[in-house]
């Protein structure tokens, strides 16, 4: 019986560790997605800004 209890504890401990690992992976995925989204927005914004700048020059001329 004592052996069975130790196995349950070990199993429960390992499942908690797996949950923590899964949570860490999800957090890293979310961070990467956020960084990619920010980078894409920055690239798009720089393109828009450069287009606006050239349009302004054309309007001024």
pTM value > 0.85: no
Whole-number pLDDT of residue 26:
87
Tracing tokens 């960084």 back to the chain, one arrives at 35
The two three-digit tokens of residue 56, written as one number = 């302004």
Please write the tens of the pLDDT for every residue from 27-57. 888 998 999 999 888 888 776 655 555 566 6
Whole-number pLDDT of residue 61:
58
Whole-number pLDDT of residue 51:
57
Distance CA 45, CA 51 (A): 10
């Amino acid at each position: 019986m004592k052996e069975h209890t130790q196995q349950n504890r070990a199993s429960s401990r390992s499942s908690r560790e797996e949950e923590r690992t899964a949570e860490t992976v999800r957090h890293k995925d979310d961070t990467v997605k956020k960084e990619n989204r920010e980078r894409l927005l920055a690239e798009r914004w720089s393109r828009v800004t450069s287009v606006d700048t050239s349009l302004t020059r054309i309007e001024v001329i």
